[in-house]
């Protein structure tokens, strides 16, 4: 995948993670955003070798949403933060 295309995809992924984290801080779980995050990964990002570490972070995020209980939203928001940091790390190596 070309660098510019990957950067755009990663920025869209990060935006979706930002929105999910904001919802979680308001004690709301937006399952559409979780699906959107998975879609971003499935449609190109996960296939790029530079993004191998992101798949694990997305799995952690997904697993934390399987049991949607409010007391777990803090853990899910933390998983969002870790995923955003990983995305930023990949972006820093590309740009």
Residue 68 clears pLDDT 80, i.e. is over it: no
The answer to whether the CB of 14 falls within 8 A of the CB of 84 is yes
Q: What's the average model confidence in pLDDT over 69-84? A: 89
Instruction: Compute φ and ψ for 47, nearest 5 degrees.
Output: -85, -15
Instruction: Give the global pTM.
Output: 0.90
Residue 1 clears pLDDT 90, i.e. is over it: no
In tens, the pLDDT along 31-55 reads 999 999 999 998 889 889 999 889 9
pLDDT of residue 64: 86
Question: Domain ranges in the chain?
Answer: 3-94
Residue 92 clears pLDDT 90, i.e. is over it: yes
């Amino acid at each position: 995948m070309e660098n510019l295309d990957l950067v755009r995809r990663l920025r869209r992924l990060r935006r979706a993670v930002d929105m999910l984290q904001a919802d979680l801080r308001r004690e709301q779980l937006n399952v559409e955003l979780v699906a959107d995050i998975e879609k971003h990964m499935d449609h190109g990002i996960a296939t790029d070798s530079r993004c191998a570490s992101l798949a694990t972070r997305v799995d952690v995020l997904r697993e934390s949403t399987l049991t949607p209980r409010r007391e777990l939203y803090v853990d899910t928001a933390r998983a969002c933060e870790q995923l955003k940091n990983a995305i930023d790390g990949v972006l820093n190596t590309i740009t």
